[in-house]
Chains A and B, each alone.
Chain A
């Protein structure tokens, strides 16, 4: 019966598709994607606790009987809605607000950033089409939802041989109204061969009680041959925000990619990243910090696929669990038979600050090549009593010791982030998010 009810919910969402066209004539390939997404949404079941990879994910907040989701598309961006900490530290080059997009100036020889629709009008349709044609079919209903509602997106293109010195900041704002609101932001980043850039994407959300916002975001990143990308995404928002993130990354040979992620707040976050190392001699580094509190749920799913040899991948992921929060980390390194001489390290550390906080970690390796170096590990626990005692013997009370240990735990991972401004940003957020 419960599933039937959820299926009713799916039909409600499907009915919203008609309203997203808004007079724009989509090219055929885009129409195909929307249709394909809608078909997949209809066919794919809602994951449940028996579905592999979803055992610990409680989807009730999405499908509870009180929720009636509506997709709202804005006509205009209101910059004043962007949280000050994001605006000041990462002044946006492009802004998304519930489907409305504002992009500053850029259509220069060094880079192009604009909405999907304007990008097509300016002659970038072929590039976008090629990227989407390579995309896999949706794996579950959340990905299907992203495709069937893909009425727009932000497209960033760095042409061949271009080095962009200044970081490019993108802000994604999802606002709620007098109803439970769905937003489907989409970001497409393409660094062509021998290009280099730093890109940051910041997700903020605003809700109106008692309604929630469901942010169903999709990021696609392509790093060309010998291209180098430093990427940061940060997620923050009110406690009534539910988020689903899916990021897919394709790395060309000799490229380097540094993906850095901050999950700072929200009722529900499920973040999936799938990195495909498609060429030889690639370097991929993934760093992340999850700060979880209240009764919030945060889950990270990672899949790093070494498809070609001589690649190096590093994962340093950390979770801080407070109060009754639940934090889940599942990461898999896959080494294909052809990916000889791959070198991979995966490490998760969880710090639990309350007896009721749950942190579960499952690092995995799947290796089909015989000449590789792979290690993985996970540690989870409260602040060690012998460390607290050490502080005490130096005149520092246990409460203060705990707060210094938390700082240390956070600082250690932030040091791995190659983007300087992150530390200032986290320092501002931390007083709100961490109960020291």
Chain B
């Protein structure tokens, strides 16, 4: 069974159609990269998968996680079922330490599975280990979530959270944006370390740069709310060389020919 199956996903925000019918299948263990120019709907797709309720999804659309439609399920329940999103702009939570935040998260997830809670001291040790692996100073475990962190530190912290929560489907929403090469490498290493036959990734990015370090199985190009091209890693290389303009032209020609026919 596929891990994720998106069928005819159409979504609006404030009356404007952002996603215009997306179909995508992600099997366990696969890494899918979704690329596209600004405003093509990449982040909207990520947010809808995570359960952000500010988008209105068309009733005929379906998002199947392990065969079950999750569209009516709230974000926390999706998370408990193993969906994780690394945010493009992670929020700051003043006054709540990383340890407290993630310890609550993991125990809420465990509670939903009838598992006993994890002791906070054991958890903190584990968290500090993960932080070290991802190149974040372990003392950040005691600091408020993302408060006063640099852009790169925030992104690394998202990857730390992913490593702690061990999702089955991780969506990385432009995790590479604003990262220098060292930070990019540690984020990529963190992701690669977690690749496994039963865990899948959707990596949303604007640039091919990250994909040099996390090699995807599939690359999709999203343009004006639709997947206009899919291929292997070579598609990412082609986009890097040619940019998005040739795809835009192709797509616009196709649209106008449809217009002529109709």
Interface of A toward B, CB cutoff 8 Å? 384, 386-387, 389-398, 400, 404-405, 407-412, 415
Contacts and interface: CB of A to CB of B under 8 A. Distances in A.
Contacts of A408: 93-96, 144
Contact of A411 (B51, B76, B95): B95
A395 B96 CA distance: 16
Given A389-B75, A390-B87, A408-B144, A396 B105 contact: yes
The 10 tightest CB contacts between A and B, nearest first, are A408-B95, A412-B95, A392-B75, A408-B96, A395-B79, A394-B105, A411-B95, A395-B109, A392-B76, A395-B108
Given A397-B76, A408-B144, A386 B91 contact: yes
Given A394-B161, A396-B108, A404-B96, 19 more contacts: A384-B91, A387-B91, A387-B93, A390-B90, A390-B93, A392-B75, A393-B76, A393-B87, A394-B101, A395-B79, A395-B109, A396-B104, A397-B108, A398-B76, A400-B104, A408-B93, A408-B95, A409-B94, A410-B95
A394 B165 contact: yes
Contact of B94 (A395, A396, A412): A412
A387 B87 CA distance: 12
A405 B96 CA distance: 7
B151 to A, nearest CB: 17
Interface string B43-54: 000000011110
Given A404-B96, A407-B96, A408-B144, A393 B51 contact: yes
Chain B interface size, as a band, is 20 to 34
8 contacts: A390-B91, A392-B51, A393-B51, A393-B85, A394-B161, A395-B80, A398-B76, A411-B95
Nearest to A401: B76
B95 A392 contact: no
A416 to B, nearest CB: 11
A74 to B, nearest CB: 41
B79 A394 contact: yes
B165 A395 contact: yes
Contact of A393 (B84, B96, B112): B84
Main secondary structure of the interface of A (DSSP, over half): helix
Chain B residues touching A, majority SS: helix
A290 to B, nearest CB: 16
Contacts of A384: 91
Contacts, number: 75
A400 B93 contact: no
Interface in B44-97: 50-53, 74-76, 78-80, 84-85, 87, 90-91, 93-96
Interface string B100-116: 11101110110010000
A412 B100 CA distance: 14
A392 B74 contact: yes
B93 to A, nearest CB: 6
Interface of B: 50-53, 74-76, 78-80, 84-85, 87, 90-91, 93-96, 100-102, 104-106, 108-109, 112, 144, 161, 165
Given A394-B101, A400-B108, A404-B101, A389 B52 contact: yes
Given A400-B104, A400-B108, A408-B144, A393 B93 contact: no
A386 to B, nearest CB: 6
Contacts of A407: 95-96
A386 B53 CA distance: 11
Contacts of A411: 95-96
Most interface-central of B95, B100, B108 (chain A CB within 10 A): B95
A152 B7 CA distance: 79
A316 B154 CA distance: 26
A384 B93 CA distance: 10
Contacts of B104: 396, 400, 404
Query: Which residue, B78, B80, B93, B165, has most C-beta atoms of chain A within 10 A?
Result: B93
A395 B112 contact: yes
B94 A393 contact: no
Contacts of A412: 94-95, 144
A409 B95 contact: yes
Nearest to A398: B76
A390 B105 CA distance: 11
Contacts of B87: 390, 393
A391 to B, nearest CB: 8
Greatest chain B CB density within 10 A among A384, A407, A411 is at A411
Nearest to A386: B91
Contact of A395 (B91, B100, B105): B105
Given A393-B51, A395-B80, A395-B165, A405 B112 contact: no
